[in-house]
């Protein structure tokens, strides 16, 4: 599918997902433009809820729309579909850009030597390459606050580890295929761990419990070991919003 | 003086659950909540709580407690569950009736079957909600009692120092007949399966595996055949979505399911049948039946009416002798009316 195609007769597709949800599919690839449409629709429906719609869940190329089955009959669903189609546009999406400090020292980058070897690079080149990109938040899922970030520069696109870990430390930055992520909690994981951030990606007590939202952008900022230790002791670092203000 | 339940034996994976914390799936937070919200409500109504108050969800092996501080009004609901007082106290209380307990009494919850059962207390537990709910998401340490299952030595404070209702209540044990089939709506990715696969899915008697947990029911049986890849771009997981990984063994996604996933989802269980599904223990068998959206909504309305009727049937508890006398009297009156009308 041509990346610059506007919404067509094929998309959006409405896929039944039980009696209390609908999957609104906007494309069939992991693509920035498709994702932007999903995020825009998600934000719009959150700000202007349709009757009976109780929640929306954005993913790479679709939006799960959850509604109260007691409040939504066939006519209401059809009206929702029509409203959604009417909302499709390609206007630019306002977004936040974060600066996230990461320590890539092998003490935290548990797999960084292996990644360097597989990519035919030095450690320094791995860090420079990985941190050179501006990452886009496609979606959150898998764990609270776990974000799927893209796109990892080509030379560092590796398949998942053959043997997943049972415990990936909290704050670990990990990569696999074209996606990167930070683990907000200790959890099992099969991606290559290349560093760690002192920033908290999920805090249930905060006004906004997850640091990131779909549509955000991220720059990873390499910091040395001593700085990581200092910020970690201070009770976790604050990420920097790249318009100069801090979070 | 706080009234509290001190845990003297933890049971297995006992967690605080209410009706869940929807609304945060866009940031990766599962909805959690009781596997059988019907039984949760019944336990709560028996002690005078709103149906969605936090209660203890117990499966396979029940906990034991000592009541500290003051009187507590509590009840259990679920298949095969009862309360047994421990020495020096004596007595057994079945499910579906509430009990006023005195401080110092020790009791254990006996689970004779594997499905989830609920222990509710009048006024609920004094546990701060996280993201609007006291449900426990143990894998991320969110909510509930310290984000985890109960351990020996834990002390669960009750919100009320003494019960709001100083009487005991009961309802006639609900008979949930085993369903001939779990009803589903096909999709979102039913087109990713061959006709053989679809036929298998809708005709096979699957068995619930012992590897099942609060994230999903793993089903054993003839593998369901894919048409093409089983590794798709991740999309949202509805409650009750049935994903089929490469093995062909379906997994029905339940309360603690991850919010997103890339395995094709062949069908989704209808809302009315989710509590039924949550009630099934490992080893139970089930089949699936495809229904329409209208049939699903009709089933939900029927279940709502059944629940409303159950709620109004709760009465003050009477001992069995008195209960028999009353039943006989009522039968004479009713028969008399029917004959007169005939």
| pLDDT tens, position by position, A163-201 | 889 999 999 999 999 999 999 999 989 999 999 999 999
Which chain A residue has its CA at the smallest distance from B215's CA? A142
State yes or no: pLDDT of A205 exceeds 90: yes
**Cβ <8 Å between B28 and A146:** yes
Describe the crossing of helices A123-132 and A112-119 by its angle, rounded to 10 degrees.
Answer: 90
- Measure in Å the smallest separation between the Cα of A243 and chain B Cα atoms: 23
**Cβ <8 Å between A15 and B187:** yes
Cα–Cα distance, B98 to B84 (Å, whole number): 13
**37-66 in chain A: CB under 8 A from chain B:** 42, 54-64, 66
User: Taking CB atoms and an 8 Å cutoff, what residues of chain B touch A144?
Assistant: 24, 27-30, 137, 140, 142
Predicted local confidence at residue B338, as pLDDT: 37
Element (H, E) at A128: helix A123-132
State yes or no: pLDDT of A245 exceeds 50: no
**Cβ <8 Å between A18 and B130:** no
Residue in A12, A22, A30 with CA at minimum distance from that of residue A53 = A22
Which of A15, A57, A202 comes nearest B26 by C-beta? Answer: A57
**Do the Cβ atoms of B249 and B218 come closer than 8 Å?**
yes
Chain centroid, CA A150 distance in Å: 8
User: Taking CB atoms and an 8 Å cutoff, what residues of chain B touch A211?
Assistant: none
Residue in B133, B188, B272 with CA at minimum distance from that of residue A69 = B272
What is the average pLDDT across A31-36? 93
**Cβ <8 Å between B26 and A25:** no
pLDDT digits (tens, 9 = 90+) for A66-113: 999 998 877 788 788 888 888 777 777 888 999 999 999 999 999 999
Which of B140, B234, B241 comes nearest A17 by C-beta? Answer: B241
- Measure in Å the smallest separation between the Cα of B172 and chain A Cα atoms: 28
Cα–Cα distance, B204 to B220 (Å, whole number): 10
ipTM above 0.95, yes or no: no
Predicted local confidence at residue A2, as pLDDT: 36
Between A and B, how many residue pairs show a Cβ–Cβ distance under 8 A?
Answer: 145
Chosen for mutation from B21, B238, B298 (greatest number of chain A CBs closer than 10 Å) is: B238
Which of A20, A30, A61 comes nearest B238 by C-beta? Answer: A20
Strand partners of residue B324: none
Cα–Cα distance, A125 to A106 (Å, whole number): 14
**Cβ <8 Å between B271 and A66:** no
Alpha-carbon distances, residue B322 vs A132, B94, B318, B328, B329 (angstroms): 80, 17, 6, 10, 11
Which of B130, B189, B268 comes nearest A204 by C-beta? Answer: B130
Q: Look at residue A131 and give its three-state secondary structure.
A: helix
- If you count DSSP H runs as helices and E runs as strands, how many of each does chain A have, helices first? 5, 14
Which of A42, A73, A143 comes nearest B26 by C-beta? Answer: A42
**Cβ <8 Å between B260 and A20:** no
pLDDT-based confidence at residue A244 (cuts at 50, 70, 90) = very low
Element (H, E) at A34: helix A32-47
- Measure in Å the smallest separation between the Cα of B4 and chain A Cα atoms: 25
Predicted local confidence at residue B323, as pLDDT: 63
Residue in A77, A202, A204, A16 with CA at minimum distance from that of residue B135 = A204
CA Rg value for chain A:
20
Residue positions counted in chain B? 342
CA angle A81, A84, A89 (to 5 degrees): 150
Which chain B residue has its CA at the smallest distance from A71's CA? B297
Describe the crossing of helices B293-312 and B37-46 by its angle, rounded to 10 degrees.
Answer: 20
Tokens representing A233 are 């002791």
Element (H, E) at A232: helix A225-233
Residue positions counted in chain A? 247
Chain centroid, CA B188 distance in Å: 26
**Do the Cβ atoms of B59 and B280 come closer than 8 Å?**
no
Alpha-carbon distances, residue B29 vs A7, A20, A136, B21, B237 (angstroms): 30, 18, 20, 8, 12
pLDDT digits (tens, 9 = 90+) for A3-28: 334 445 688 899 999 999 999 999 99
Element (H, E) at A44: helix A32-47
Label each residue of chain B as H, E or C. CCCEEEEEECCCCCEEECCCCCCCHHHCCCCCCCCCHHHHHHHHHHCCCCCCCCEEEECCCCCEEEEECCCEEEEEECCCEEEEECCCCCCEEECCEEEEECCCCEEEEEECCCCCEEEEECCCECCCCECCECCCEHHHCECCCCCCCCCCCCEEEECCCCCCCCCCEECCCCCCCCCCCEEEEECCCHHHECHHHHHHHHHCCEEECCCCCCCEEEEECCCCCECCCCCCCCEECCCCEEECCCCCCCEEECCCCCCEECCCEEEEECHHHHHHHHCCCCCCEECEEECCHHHHHHHHHHHHHHHHHHHHCCEECCCHHHHHHHHHHHHHHHHHHHHHHC
Neighbours of A200 (CB within 10 A): 18
Residues 6+ apart with CB under 8 A from B205: B221, B285, B286, B287
**Cβ <8 Å between A204 and B142:** yes
**Do the Cβ atoms of B132 and B61 come closer than 8 Å?**
no
CA atoms within 13 A on the CB side of B40: 26
Predicted local confidence at residue A246, as pLDDT: 37
- What is the secondary structure of A79-125 as a DSSP string? HHHHHHHHH---PPPP--EEEEEEB--TTT-TTHHHHHHHHT--HHH
Cα–Cα distance, B198 to B184 (Å, whole number): 13
User: Taking CB atoms and an 8 Å cutoff, what residues of chain A touch B256?
Assistant: none
Neighbours of B128 (CB within 10 A): 7
Successive 10-residue mean pLDDT values, chain B, 342 residues: 94 97 97 97 97 97 97 95 94 95 97 93 97 96 97 98 90 81 97 98 97 95 94 94 96 97 96 95 95 96 95 87 69 47 38
**Cβ <8 Å between B140 and A143:** yes
**Cβ <8 Å between B27 and A30:** no
Cα–Cα distance, A47 to A137 (Å, whole number): 20
**Cβ <8 Å between B297 and A73:** yes
User: Taking CB atoms and an 8 Å cutoff, what residues of chain A touch B25?
Assistant: 55, 57, 64, 66
Cα–Cα distance, B259 to A14 (Å, whole number): 19
Chosen for mutation from B22, B183, B235 (greatest number of chain A CBs closer than 10 Å) is: B235
State yes or no: pLDDT of A152 exceeds 70: yes
**Cβ <8 Å between A142 and B23:** no
B85–A contact, CB cutoff 8 A = no
Chosen for mutation from B146, B233, B292 (greatest number of chain A CBs closer than 10 Å) is: B233
- Measure in Å the smallest separation between the Cα of B229 and chain A Cα atoms: 14
For the entire predicted model, the pTM comes to 0.91
**Do the Cβ atoms of B69 and B1 come closer than 8 Å?**
yes
């Amino acid at each position: 599918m041509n990346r610059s195609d506007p919404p067509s007769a094929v998309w959006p597709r409405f896929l039944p997902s039980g009696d209390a949800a609908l999957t609104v599919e906007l494309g069939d690839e992991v693509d920035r433009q498709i994702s932007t449409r999903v995020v825009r629709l998600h934000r719009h429906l959150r700000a202007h809820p349709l009757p009976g719609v109780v929640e929306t869940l954005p993913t790479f190329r679709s939006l799960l729309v959850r509604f109260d089955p007691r409040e939504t009959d066939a006519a209401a669903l059809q009206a929702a579909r029509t409203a959604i189609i009417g909302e499709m546009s390609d206007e630019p999406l306002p977004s936040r850009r974060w600066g996230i400090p990461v320590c890539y020292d092998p003490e935290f980058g548990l797999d960084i030597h292996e990644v360097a070897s597989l990519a035919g690079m030095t450690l320094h080149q791995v860090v420079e390459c990985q941190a050179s990109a501006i990452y886009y938040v496609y979606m959150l899922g898998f764990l609270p606050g776990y974000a799927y970030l893209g796109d990892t520069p080509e030379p560092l696109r590796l398949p998942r580890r053959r043997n997943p870990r049972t415990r990936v430390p909290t704050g670990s930055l990990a990569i696999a295929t074209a996606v990167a992520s930070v683990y907000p909690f200790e959890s099992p994981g099969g991606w290559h761990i290349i560093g760690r951030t002192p920033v908290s990606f999920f805090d249930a007590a905060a006004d906004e419990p997850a640091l990131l939202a779909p549509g955000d952008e991220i720059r990873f900022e390499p910091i040395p070991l001593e700085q990581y230790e200092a910020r970690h002791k201070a009770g976790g670092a604050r990420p920097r919003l790249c318009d100069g203000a801090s979070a | 003086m706080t009234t509290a339940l001190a845990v003297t034996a933890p049971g297995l994976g006992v967690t605080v659950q209410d009706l869940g914390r929807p609304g945060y799936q866009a940031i990766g937070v599962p909805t959690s909540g009781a596997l059988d919200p019907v039984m949760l409500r019944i336990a709560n109504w028996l002690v005078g709580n709103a149906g969605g108050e936090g209660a203890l969800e117990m499966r396979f092996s029940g906990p034991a407690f000592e009541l500290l501080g003051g009187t507590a009004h509590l009840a259990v609901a679920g298949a095969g569950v009862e309360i047994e007082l421990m020495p020096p106290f004596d007595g057994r209380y079945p499910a579906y009736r509430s009990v006023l307990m005195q401080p110092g009494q020790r009791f254990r919850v006996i689970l004779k079957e594997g499905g989830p059962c609920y222990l509710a207390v009048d006024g609920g537990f004094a546990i701060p909600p996280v993201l609007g709910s006291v449900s426990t998401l143990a894998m991320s340490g969110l909510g509930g009692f310290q984000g985890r299952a109960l351990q020996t030595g834990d002390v669960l404070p009750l919100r009320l120092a003494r019960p709001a209702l100083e009487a005991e209540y009961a309802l006639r044990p609900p008979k949930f007949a085993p369903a001939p089939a779990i009803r589903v709506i096909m999709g979102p990715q039913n087109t990713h399966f061959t006709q053989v696969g679809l036929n298998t899915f809708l005709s096979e008697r699957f068995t619930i595996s012992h590897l099942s947990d609060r994230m999903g029911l793993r089903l054993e049986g003839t593998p369901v055949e894919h048409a093409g890849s089983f590794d798709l771009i991740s999309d949202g997981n509805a409650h009750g979505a049935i994903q089929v990984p490469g093995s062909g063994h379906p997994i029905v996604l339940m309360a603690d399911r991850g919010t997103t996933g890339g395995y094709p989802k062949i069908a989704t269980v209808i809302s009315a049948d989710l509590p039924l599904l949550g009630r099934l223990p490992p080893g139970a068998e089930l089949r699936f039946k495809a229904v329409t959206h209208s049939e699903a909504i009709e089933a939900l309305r029927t279940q709502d009416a059944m629940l409303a009727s159950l709620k109004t049937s709760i009465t003050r508890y009477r001992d069995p002798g008195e209960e028999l006398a009353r039943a006989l009297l009522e039968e004479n009156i009713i028969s008399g009316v029917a004959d007169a009308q005939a």
